[in-house]
Amino acid sequence: MPDGMMRMPPPQMPPNMPNIDPSKEIWVETVSAEGKIYYYHAKTRQSVWQRPTDDNIQIIKQNEVIGVCYISKYCCC
């Protein structure tokens, strides 16, 4: 390493790291500007007002999205 360059520390895991099941579709629970809860698909960005209920779905909170982007193929940021 050249003189004067600092070695970067390893990346830290975000504090809101959800436990993601890679075999499931990820939906994000969030709140509209009017305060109503809605859900959007992390990959397709499709949004719905009713909570998705399929067995192949995992729902995470909006504040967990950064953790998902950090660890998976879903980048919903």
Domain containing 50 equals 25-71
pLDDT for residue 22: 83
The answer to whether residue 31 is domain-embedded is yes
- How confident is the model over 11-65, as pLDDT tens digits? 555 555 667 888 999 999 999 999 999 999 988 999 999 999 999 999 999 888 7
The answer to whether residue 46 is domain-embedded is yes
The answer to whether residue 10 is domain-embedded is no
Give the pLDDT band of residue 9 (cuts 50, 70, 90). Answer: low
pLDDT for residue 77: 47
Give the number of domains in the chain.
Answer: 1
**Residue 66, H or E segment:** helix 65-71
The answer to whether residue 15 is domain-embedded is no
pLDDT for residue 6: 58
Give Cα separations from 21 to 1, 7, 10, 17, 56 (angstroms). 39, 34, 24, 12, 10
pLDDT for residue 64: 83
Q: Are the beta carbons of 31 and 39 closer than 8 angstroms?
A: no
pLDDT for residue 1: 47
